[in-house]
Chain A
Amino acid sequence: MAGFSGDETAPFFGFLGAAAALVFSCMGAAYGTAKSGVGVASMGVMRPELVMKSIVPVVMAGVLGIYGLIIAVIISTGINPKAKSYYLFDGYAHLSSGLACGLAGLSAGMAIGIVGDAGVRIRFRNMCHPTSTPWRDLALQFLSLLRRDLP
């Protein structure tokens, strides 16, 4: 094909980058929300007053979805061959940026889910008394590793 430069297919990679940014971040956000939410609900059966304080992992996971949304919108509004020529270079750049954002969001979401679930359950188990704070619990944990006779 004379004059075929491959740049017509560049938007394919660009739009796929935007899709990857959102879809993978949402996967991470969903995993984080679901896993920590199950932990919060399990803990809440024993201690209902702690539920609202333990919503932090869920909020953190929700923020990941917003990151993916922002990157996806930035990428998809940047694909405008009429305003600025869109070469294969731009397509690949958008694809890689979308994958970077999305896969990082996926991993972060999985980490938030696992840590949130475990943390919420440990918070209940290791509490010394009902008005304990997280720092106090952590400090007591570390101290108890150093000194066996501390509870």
Chain B
Amino acid sequence: MSTAASSSWGTALVKISPYTFSAVGIAVSIGVSVLGAAWGIYITGSSLIGAAIKAPRITSKNLISVIFCEAVAIYGVIVAIILQTKLESVPSSQIYAAESLRAGYAIFASGLIVGFANLVCGLCVGIIGSSCALSDAQNSSLFVKILVIEIFGSALGLFGVIVGIIMSAQATWPTKV
């Protein structure tokens, strides 16, 4: 019997069903992404509306910042749908087999990645979108320049989606024996 058998992490983890991990991962992927999108939209939206009092011309152009934040929520939905198609039912003798456990962990980590990457992306885009609206109200030549910074920020959500999808390919369940 190897010494790893005395690992308390191992004995605790192996008793948790992989479906628990998968479900939590899928929930985090959509829930936390939407949290990030909402946070970004409220940061951007409040600045936009406030700045538009004195400069109403900025409203239609600066909606693009809100759209960038919304895209983050859409990434979360897409990955959550992809992850839930990766769930398969295995016979109850196989639920705690090594391969099922690995599949459960892969879906969990994939959901975590997408959720939290989208959370910080939404925040980043929201903060920059708010400064974009405020500087656009001062000087309309600044809009496109600050938008370039916002595009850099929105790439972070894409990184999360890419890694989440690559990792979800690791979620292979044992075939029914």
Say whether chain B's binding surface is mostly helix, strand, loop, or mixed.
helix
Tell me which residues across on chain B come within 8 A of A29, comparing CB atoms.
120, 124, 156
If A26-B160, A37-B128 touch, does A6 touch B4 (CB 8 Å cutoff)?
Answer: yes
B-side residues, CB < 8 A to A, are 1-2, 4-5, 7, 9-11, 13-14, 96-99, 101-102, 105-106, 108-110, 112-113, 116-117, 120-121, 123-124, 127-128, 131-132, 134-135, 138-139, 141-142, 145-146, 148-150, 152-153, 155-156, 159-160, 162-163, 166-167, 170
Tell me which residues across on chain A come within 8 A of B124, comparing CB atoms.
29-31, 33-34
If A44-B139, A44-B146, A45-B135 touch, does A33 touch B153 (CB 8 Å cutoff)?
Answer: yes
Contact of B4 with A18 in the complex, beta carbons under 8 Å: no
Within 8 A of B (CB), among A81-122: 81, 87-88
Contact of A45 with B142 in the complex, beta carbons under 8 Å: yes
Tell me which residues across on chain B come within 8 A of A18, comparing CB atoms.
109, 113, 163, 167
If A6-B4, A16-B109 touch, does A27 touch B127 (CB 8 Å cutoff)?
Answer: no
Bound complex: CA A19 to CA B7 (Å): 23
Q: CB < 8 Å: which of B1, B13, B146 contacts A37?
A: B146
Contact of B149 with A55 in the complex, beta carbons under 8 Å: yes
Within 8 A of B (CB), among A32-86: 33-34, 37-38, 40-42, 44-45, 48, 51-52, 55, 58-59, 61-62, 65-66, 68-69, 72-73, 76-77, 79-81
20 A-B Cβ contacts within 8 A? A4-B10, A5-B1, A6-B4, A6-B14, A12-B13, A12-B105, A16-B109, A23-B116, A23-B117, A23-B120, A30-B120, A33-B152, A37-B127, A38-B127, A42-B135, A45-B135, A48-B141, A52-B145, A59-B152, A69-B162
